[in-house]
Every structure is written in C-alpha cells, then in structure tokens.
Amino acid sequence: MNELAVLDLILEQELDRNPDVVFLATSTPPSWRARFGAGRVRTCPISEPAMVGAALGAAMTGLRPVVDLNRASFAFLVMDQLVNHAARIHYLSDGAYRAPMVLTSATRGPQQLGPQNEQCPYGVFMQTPGVRVAVPGSATDACALLRTALRDEQGPVLLFIAPGLADHCDLRAALAAEPQPFGVARRIRGGDAATVLAIGSAVRAAEQAAADLAAEGVLVDLLDPRTLVPFDTAAVAESVLRTGRLVLVDDGPRSGAPAQILSGLLDVPGLAEALGGRIAHVSAPEVPIPSSPVLEAQFWATPERVVAAVRRLTTPS
Amino acid sequence: MASALPADPALPPVDARPVDGFDPVAAYRTMVLIRTYEERILQARTEREVIGPVHPYIGQEAVAVGVCAALEPRDHLVSHYRGHGHALARGVDPDALTAELFGRADGLCGGKAAALVSDPATHLLLSSGIVGAGIPVAAGAAMTSQVKGDGAVAVVFFGEGALGAGVVHETLTLAVVQRLPLILVCENNGYQGATRTEEVYPETSVARIAEAHRMPVHRVDGNDTLAVHAAATAAVAAARAGQGPSFIEASTYLTRFHLQFDRPSGEHRPAEERADWLARDPLGRLRQHLLAAGTAPAVLDALDTDAEQRVDAAITFARTSPWPAPEAALTNLWAATP
C-alpha cells in the first residue's frame, strides 16, 4: 500500500463516497476487500500493463479506477497502455469517450532502491499529451489532489508521491484537505530576491533554504507548482517577471521537469529578457541513481545547494 | 496443409448447430456489405481518397458477423486496425466510417482516428493500432459490467499475432482469476504481417495457449458463419451467467494481403494455399447454405445490389464532407468537467 499512509485513508473515504471507484493493485488491504468487495478492490497478479489497460476499459465504461503502480519506475512498464491508449482515447474519439482514471506511485526517498527502482520520471509524462501530472510537495496537497483526481473527469491522472512527505505529515490537515484544483501553484514564501520553484520532495529542502536565506535578509519567492500538467504558468511568470531570477529545484534530473518548465516559461512575453540569463538548477545528475548512500548523497536537492544557487544569482558579478 | 484446421484430438469438436434467433440472410447481407465496402475502400486508397494504411478484412467476414450477431446493444466491443468488418458488423454507420477513413469533418472521430475508430453509439470502445493492446481494455469493460451487475459482456477481436504480446497473457491470467465476462475472439489467419506464424511460434494452435491459462476454448472454422455464431453464443451465455471468460479460436485467412498504402500490396502468398482458401470463401459458403435451405437466388442477388448502393452512398457522403477546421486539431485533448 501507499507509503504515505494518509492517502489510504483518503482513498478509503472515496471508495465509500462513490460506488464507481475501484482499486487495482498487486496488494490490497483485506479490510477493504471485506468492506467493498473483491469486485471493487481487486488484488491483481504482477501485470501492470494489463491492470492499466483494464483501468482504461473500466474508466471508459463508467467506473473510476485507481491503479497503485507502487514505484514510479514501474510507470515505464505501462507506457503503451498509458500513453498510446489512455492518454489518447478522448482525443482519438474526438471527445466521444473519456478516461477518468488515476495511477499512483512513489518517487524517490532516501531508501537506497538504486538505479532501477528509484526515479522521478514525471518529466517524461509532461511531454505526453493527454495525461495530467500531479507531484505534490506536501502530504496535505497530496490528499487534496487525490480527491480531485478521483472526482473530476478530464482524463488520466498520474499522482507521484515522494515517500519523504510522510515524514512531515500534518495528519489532521491532510485528512481535512478539500479537493484542490489542478494547475494552481502554492506560494510558500513571498520575496523579491529570486523565484525558487521546487517540485515534490524537493519542496522541503527549498523551504529550509528559504528560511536560512531569510535569516540573512534575503527573501525569496518560493513556489510549489503542485501539478506539472496543467502548470500554473501565470503564477510563476508573475513571480519571475518581478524577481528576474529563477532557481528550479527538483530531485529528478534537470532534463526532466525543470527543463520543460523553463522552456514553457521562456515563451511568456518579456520573461526571457527579465531573467537575463539569471537561471539556476538544483537537480539530480543525468545518471541513474546509485544505491550507496555516500554516492546518492550528491543527488539530493539539499538546502545548502539551493542556498548556493540563490546566492550565485543574487551576488553581483 | 494450411487450409486444414490443425488436428488436436484433445479438444472437443465444435457444436455448429444453428442457434435459435440467428438470421442467416441478415448475416449474408452484412457480410456482403463488408466485402463490397472493403473492395471499394482499397480502390479509394489507390486513388488516395482514403488516408493512412488500409488493412483489409477480406476473407474473414464470417468471424465479425458470426460474433456480432450473438451480441446485444449493451455489450462492449474492442477492435483493432483491421476493424472495418467489426465496425460494420456491429452496426457502425457506413457514412461516418467512410468520412473518417477520408479524414473528413463528418467522420466518426472528426478525422482524428482514420481506421482506429471508436463509436459510443454501438459501444465500440477502441480500435487499437497496437497489436494485442486492446485486450486488457476489453477486460476493463468486463470489470465494469461485473461491478455494476448490468449483465453486459465485452468482446475483443485480435489476430493470433497478438499472442506474442506479454500484455495478452497478463490479461488472460487476470480475466480467468477474476471471472470477467470477456470473450476473446482470435482470428487465426496464419500470418503476422507478412510473417508466417509457424515460423515464429512454438505452438500454432493458439487454443492450447489459452487452455494453458485455464481459459475455456472454442475452436471453430472461422469461414463458417454459423459455426462462429454458435461458438460466440455459447461464450456470451457463459459470460452472462457469471462463468467467466472464453476464448474463441476462429481459423480463417486473409485472401488479399496485410495492408495497402498508395498502391495495392505486392505481398504474395503461396498460390495453392490462397486458392484453397478462396474455395472456402465465407460468402460463397453462406450463399450455398442459404440456397440449399431454399432461399431464392434473386433474394441474395438483391442484397448484393443493395450493398453496392449503400457503399456508393457512403463514398459520396465522404467525398462531399468538408475537411475539418484546422483548429479542430487542438480540441478534445482533455474532457470538460461536466
């Protein structure tokens, strides 16, 4: 089940709320099967492509399937069903069919899962028209976005959850979270020195960095986009046009979400001129994630790296 | 000999007795429509009126018609890129289908899909362009029926080439264990594209592959409409009764070729093999059956004429349909929230 246990509570509430919600996973809670029946809580063989394909067929015919992919790396197993089929069916049928389905998975945490099982692949799905990509930076937002994903009908949702969100979970706030519209960034801190845009598990490190900088009198605008597709271009552009500096912070590779976000922002009139080259990245290197903690230590977006990036942009040369 | 069904004494013989309620004249009408339609679509592809590749179904009409005649409107269907026959057998509007193949605004999917059509009016969910990929989608539709208890079944058509795809085996496992009301219809035509299946499979009786997944199997002569229909009727009844999925292996043959772009394919099959299958053409066989049963030849000839006129009308409709507005390319990526 999910490493962010509070999400299971939300999912259980939604199963209770809507009889069309069904859950497919290779492991399901016995209490759910007892309560909702084996038809709605399906324990499946290890067959992620079949599970996602079945979720599509179920979504097209009136159910609200949720597939737990477990690790985000396993999203690569289901690319055909997800990308070529689920993400296409509304467009392909010119609006005749819709596919409201949710795929959940865990991204990176300090778990030493190594090159195959520890990845932040959401950047790949940003270039996949037809899927929405949610990468919340807090447990509360994760709960809110899961509720939204299960209730609206626009199409398939990928919900990428960082295991680290569990370490800073305000259980009461998370459980009380109301559905949160996709495409609305959260401003965590206000400031004019630089815009810091942090994604998923890197939000925590960026918050610490922003606090450390504030102690020195450097106030940054810290934003968490919460969803990458749709992306709140307006909020981020407003900030960047004001600060003239942008630091992109992610625990995934720079060529993934950060590169795509930057590319989209540079289309905003005047934004490239406002930045004037004052752009920095704090990301994982472009290699697989090694297992040894000593090796992996270089791959995290730490507060120190974020502080250094902001200083580089704000110090006159 | 490719024309004979592979011998397998371990499997019971097919019960090909006519099923009550089956109208063989109506079946003949639909089969002639499909044949006439496909001949004209191949011609229209040569003339570059049809866009994209055309994968003809000529020679396999008995499978689509025999299976679809066993279905009710509430049932769901998944097809693939060789799906004109399935669509017409299911009752998809020939005008909208043709306009789609022509890439026009009045097409079934607004010109976005070409042959990969969907049609909610007939519960045609998907015509996947990727071999085997529609099979789990049909399983999902079967899941919906199971959860909602609405008694519908889901049918998916595929060639035997799909048995090479891992997701198909995953779905067979899942469907059997979860007793899904799913009917898998394998159109075993002996070829995967231009490759003979016997060259690339260790086992050409795909029925045995399905049996290894503990799935009940019907093996039928896929050129015999009545035999296909009898098997489909039994499979649908079992699925509606909660007995789970069935697998139909319909042995058949593509009498033309795998696909055509601008020009007819230069693909060649052994002449003796092709002649042997042409002698067992499904339309000719059903016609002989009907004549033997006392149907007047003039009745069948009139159906041939009707089909020509219907296809003419569909082609005219497609030719006169406007091109889509360019801005339509950007619509319907996301569904609106109702």
- Residue range B50-64, pLDDT digits in tens: 999 999 999 999 999
B163 Cβ under 8 Å from any chain A Cβ = no
Interchain pair A53, B140: CB under 8 A? yes
Q: For residue B171, give the 3-state DSSP assignment.
A: helix
What pTM was estimated for this model as a whole?
A: 0.94
**Taking 80 as the threshold, does the pLDDT of residue B272 lie above it?**
yes
Best residue of B123, B127, B147 to probe chain A, by most A CBs closer than 10 Å:
B147
Q: CA-nearest residue of chain B to A56?
A: B137
**Taking 80 as the threshold, does the pLDDT of residue B3 lie above it?**
no
**A57 neighbors B140 (Cβ within 8 angstroms):** yes
Q: What's chain B's average pLDDT?
A: 93
**Taking 60 as the threshold, does the pLDDT of residue B120 lie above it?**
yes
State the nearest Cα–Cα gap between A207 and chain B, in angstroms: 33
Instruction: Give the mean pLDDT of B62-77.
Output: 98
Q: How confident is the model at residue B338 (pLDDT cuts 50, 70, 90)?
A: low
Angle (CA) B6-B8-B11 rounded to 5° is 130
Could you count the other beta carbons within 10 Å of the beta carbon of residue A95?
Answer: 17
A201 φ, ψ (degrees, to nearest 5) = -70, -15
Q: What share of chain B is helix, strand, coil (3-state, %, to 5)?
A: 45, 10, 40
Q: How confident is the model at residue B15 (pLDDT cuts 50, 70, 90)?
A: very low
User: Which residues, at least 6 apart from B124, have a Cβ–Cβ distance to it below 8 Å?
Assistant: B77, B78, B79, B86, B87, B90, B92, B117, B118
**B247 neighbors B180 (Cβ within 8 angstroms):** no
Interchain pair B144, A39: CB under 8 A? no
The greatest distance separating any two alpha carbons of chain B, rounded to the nearest whole angstrom, comes to 59
pLDDT at A110: 86
**Taking 70 as the threshold, does the pLDDT of residue B13 lie above it?**
no
Q: What is the mean pLDDT of each run of 10 residues along chain A (317 residues)?
A: 85 98 97 97 97 98 97 97 98 98 95 92 97 97 97 96 92 95 98 98 97 98 98 98 98 97 97 97 96 94 98 89
Distance CA B115, CA B120 (A): 16
B186 Cβ under 8 Å from any chain A Cβ = no
**Taking 70 as the threshold, does the pLDDT of residue B82 lie above it?**
yes
**Taking 50 as the threshold, does the pLDDT of residue B7 lie above it?**
no
pLDDT at B11: 38
Best residue of B92, B137, B156 to probe chain A, by most A CBs closer than 10 Å:
B137
Model confidence over B154-208: pLDDT tens digits? 999 999 999 999 999 999 999 999 999 999 999 999 999 989 999 999 988 899 9
